[in-house]
Amino acid sequence: MSINNTKFDYTKISDDCVKCGKCKPVCTIFNINQDEATSPRGFIDLLGAYKRDELELDKTAKDIFESCFLCTNCVEVCPNDLPTDMIIEQVRSDIAKKYGIAWYKRMFFWLLKHRKTMDLLSKLGWMFQTCALKLDNEKQSARPRFSLPIVKKDRVLPFADSVSFLNKYPQNIPAKNKVEVADKKNKVAIFIGCMSNYTYTNTGDSLVKILKKLDLDIFIPKKQLCCGAPAYFTGAFDTVDYLAKTNIEYFESWIDDVDAVLIPEATCSAMINQDWEHYFHDQPEWKARAAKLSKKIFLATKWLENNTQLKDMLATSGKKMNDVVTYHDPCHAKKMQGVWKEPRNLLSQNYVMTEMSDSNRCCGFGGVTMQTEKFEFAKAAGAPKAAMIRDTKAQIVSAECSACRMQITNSLDTAGVDVKFKNPIELIAEALED
Ligand code: SF4
Ligand code: SF4
């Protein structure tokens, strides 16, 4: 199969790899498989061979390229900054074209494009979920009562809330005591992300509470759609195209009215402020529009720490909490957006913080394929993370990412570790409660 119109030149990247092997010890899949073929260096070598028409994109190659977690650990350590994650995303689009996309993923991606149907299904899911799931409200997780075709019985999952975040609030929530500041709107928008919209809704509720305390006008854009990340990591680029363009046109209609768009989700914020531009590499007009928007898109803790009095407010009027918290760095927060100090700075005002041995190690979520067909890999990658959380003796593990939440909650359950997961936004809101 020929590779035209692709962003990355696999031959050049393969030539630029000096085979130093620095990426191997940090690679999530290599640590599981211990196989050169599924290491960053191996992926790059194989993609060079594919470009030279020396490698057929057969089922074995498909299997290999689908085993990368897209954690970017390799990019962080590579002396030549080789974008292994992005070339894998690119080849997955070729794989999707050649083999098609599994029915359940196509159905899922269709739902991401049709919010009203997703709302209805989520509501039905909430009504009937206790038939199929045993709920643990404290840990926001549920265990299937029986094995399903895609989901095995021995794992825990998030469950749907009765009302989605976007359906719970009005579009505009004016500040009670708004302070006028020159050159500022003192108004922020919330992009919530699908998991916090339907399952971990307390994250959005908590962000609203914090923004009210800060006397900011809140805008909740009701027509926002999924950022497209699940489709991007799967190679379903037609879905990414639709979601990114629809969102861009919608964001442009109100972006000048707000100071920032806050996203309490690492993967969604990285997708919107970085991956949309990567995706539009061959559509310059859309790339420029995505780049312009990205200046106002922020992971929530980053903007709150750098642009508001939140830290002082937590220090002066926040409650001192007894819980010990350990913070996990989502790959899409620290490695992709350089955000890691901000949540710690905010949380340390009220909580006792303790570091796990390797907070930067990928939790093993890995995307839709990894959470379904290749779940054994996700399970294996999650075990060391659960062990290091247990060793901290913390009561709470926190990360600004619902994908990490889903994966870590399951890993802790599998390992029998009784630690709760909370988004830092939830913990901050709890510390500010009257
Ligand atoms: S993105 Fe992660 S799993 Fe994939 S090759 Fe790089 S380090 Fe390995
Ligand atoms: S660290 Fe970079 S240059 Fe070294 S082997 Fe890995 S991909 Fe190649």
* pLDDT of res. 178: 74
Atom of ligand 1 nearest to the CA of 40: 5
**Cα–Cα distance between 410 and 152 in angstroms, integer?**
12
Do residues 204 and 173 touch, judged by C-beta distance below 8 A? no
Residue 44: CB within 6 Å of ligand 1? Answer: no
Task: Report residue 301 as tokens.
Answer: 């803790």
pLDDT digits (tens, 9 = 90+) for 96-105: 999 999 998 9
Do residues 263 and 293 touch, judged by C-beta distance below 8 A? no
Taking 50 as the threshold, does the pLDDT of residue 1 lie above it? Answer: no
Compute the distance from residue 56 Cα to the ligand 2 centre, in Å.
23
Query: What's the mean pLDDT in 379-401?
Result: 98
**Mean pLDDT for the chain?**
93
Architecture of domain 10-99: Orthogonal Bundle (1.10)
- Strands 297-299 and 260-263, by their bridges, are parallel
List own/partner pairs for 282-290 with CB under 8 A and 24 or more apart.
Answer: 282/5, 282/7, 286/244, 286/245, 286/248, 289/248, 289/252, 290/244, 290/248
The top-level CATH class assigned to 165-305 is mainly alpha
Residue 133: CB within 6 Å of ligand 2? Answer: no
* pLDDT of res. 181: 76
Compute the distance from residue 229 Cα to the ligand 1 centre, in Å.
17
pLDDT digits (tens, 9 = 90+) for 405-419: 999 999 999 999 999
Do residues 320 and 348 touch, judged by C-beta distance below 8 A? no
What pairs with residue 134 in β-bridges?
143
Domain 310-432 has CATH 3.40.50.1860: yes
Give ranges for CATH 1.10.1060.10 in the chain.
10-99
Residue 78: CB within 6 Å of ligand 2? Answer: yes
Residue nearest to atom 1 of ligand 1 (CA): 70
Give ranges for CATH 3.40.50.1860 in the chain.
310-432
Residue 81: CB within 6 Å of ligand 2? Answer: no
Half-sphere exposure of 154 (CA within 13 A, CB side): 7
pLDDT band at 3 (very low <50, low <70, confident <90, very high): very low
**Cα–Cα distance between 97 and 380 in angstroms, integer?**
29
Compute the distance from residue 190 Cα to the ligand 2 centre, in Å.
38
